[in-house]
Amino acid sequence: MPSDRPIDASPTAGKVASLVFLVVAGIFCLRQLNAFDVFWYLRSGEEILRRHALLPTDPFSYTSAGPWINHEWLAEICMALVHRVGGLAGLVVFQAAAIVAVLAILMRGCWPAGHLERWPAWLGLVCATVTLGLSAEPRAQLIAWVLFAATLSLCFADLARPSRRLFWALPIGVLWANIHGGNPTGVALLGILFLTGPSWRRALVLGGAALATLASPYGLRVHGHFLGAHEALPEIREWYPLLKTLAMGSVPQWAAVISVLVALLGLVLRYRRREPIRFEAIALLVFFAIATCYARFTWELSILSAASLLRSSPRQAWRDSPARRVLGLVMALALLVLASTTAAQPVGLGLNANRIPVAAATFLQRHQPPGPMLNSYNFGGYLMWAYPREKVFIDSRAFMIYSEAHLRDLLRLYEEPPFFRELERRWHFRLAVLQRAGRGAHFAAWLRMQPDWQVIYEDDLAIILSKT
């Protein structure tokens, strides 16, 4: 009869396998900058550093309304400093390093000895790498993933051996409140931990973490502006329902769903073996329910799924051996290579010029046509950074800066191009920088046909028009 004693894995071989995977995962995450948010982060961070103070109102747009509750101010400073040191390439390296940090925290905090030959563990790591790596942008959410993984690791440590180490969640919470204020996911983890095994210590940490969400210059206001964004959220892609993103063929969301389904199956098998799974089961179900409403929570869901799969107990049929360890690692690396071929963002440093209007911004810098400027929603963040001479009409800060009425006007403009004349009378446009494909392309085609507007520049990505 085979023995049921724990598998004695080689620590050295385990470290080598982990290191190899982390290196390859880091290379996988070296994706060219593909998101427009990055650039308003840089502009805002530099402005905060220049003034040595937070920005009470938005100085970058002529249509913003009210005070700026800049809940990501510390992340903006971090990105600006990284850019000062390493340029755009430095931001790409920072992006990859943050995801490697998430994976390393999961490996150290959730991977018991002897699990290196388990294919579910490798699958969890691969799916987390794909979900995070193909969604990553140098912005606050990136750092929040690291803080989420650290909080999750503290929860697992407390489940194994309750101790005062859990109180480290409080300084993490304070940092989180200034990096990405209003993000409740860390508090949610601690709340689930308390429900699985109530104690005074866990109650104190949970209460302290809830209060820590207010430990920013904005206090309670940091939560209010999210709660009021009823109309804007459904129009932003990362806030789409999960089923909508899956129907669009989003690889990161599909990877997250695969990992959570395998993780739930693993929990069923562990339950049948009478292993403790309450915390993981509740956390996975809660975050899966939230992710079905808002796809952006698939990022945290993928981290939870990977942690659960890493904690799966090895079955006797999967005894540790060098051959199985190598096979598991090779399969994991092969899956990463396969996923890389499906990615829209190419591997490399710098900008993805097929998405970012670099050439159009260069034309603006050279010729400096007069404004005020009307711009597409997606282009606003980059124009704010690359062409600061003109303030923007709209950018991807969305409800953080602009009123719901302003966002409604933009959507109506895209759907009813003649509505432009009403906006023109209100804002006195003399310059338009528009995207030629995607949402708003119909309006760009309409405007170029108007006799009082002329095309002064166009390429495959953007079109620039000036009022005659």
* Confidence grade of residue 221 (pLDDT, cut at 50, 70, 90): confident
Cβ-contact 215, 90 below 8 angstroms: no
67 Cα distance to chain centroid:
25
Place of tokens 């804007």: 232
SS3 351: strand
* Confidence grade of residue 330 (pLDDT, cut at 50, 70, 90): low
How many angstroms separate the CA atoms of 227 and 378, rounded? 23
SS3 137: coil
Its pTM surpasses 0.85: yes
Which helix (H) or strand (E) segment holds residue 73: the answer is: helix 73-110
Write down the pLDDT at residue 51. 93
How many angstroms separate the CA atoms of 287 and 291, rounded? 6
**What phi and psi values does residue 237 have, to the nearest 5 degrees?**
-60, -45
Q: Hey, where are the domains in the chain?
A: 11-341, 358-467
Q: Which of 113-117, 150-154, 301-305, 444-448 has the lowest mean pLDDT?
A: 113-117
How many angstroms separate the CA atoms of 458 and 64, rounded? 28
pLDDT at residue 329 is higher than 50: yes
pLDDT tens per residue, range 158-173: 988 888 899 999 999 9
pLDDT at residue 24 is higher than 90: no
How many angstroms separate the CA atoms of 370 and 390, rounded? 8
The pLDDT of 270-298, averaged and rounded, is 88
pLDDT at residue 336 is higher than 70: no
Residue 188's identity, in one-letter code, is A
Q: What's the distance, Cα to Cα, between the start and end of the chain in Å?
A: 89
Cβ-contact 128, 305 below 8 angstroms: yes
Write down the pLDDT at residue 143. 94
The pLDDT of 78-86, averaged and rounded, is 94
pLDDT tens per residue, range 44-65: 999 999 999 999 889 999 998 7
Degrees (nearest 5) of the Cα angle 409, 410, 412? Answer: 65
The pLDDT of 104-118, averaged and rounded, is 64
For residue 171, whether the previous peptide bond is cis, meaning omega lies within 30 degrees of 0, is no
Write down the pLDDT at residue 338. 63
Write down the pLDDT at residue 240. 79
How many angstroms separate the CA atoms of 47 and 41, rounded? 10
Supply the mean pLDDT for the chain: 84
How many angstroms separate the CA atoms of 185 and 187, rounded? 5
Write down the pLDDT at residue 321. 53
Higher per-residue pLDDT: 343 or 5:
343
How many angstroms separate the CA atoms of 444 and 432, rounded? 9
Write down the pLDDT at residue 318. 41
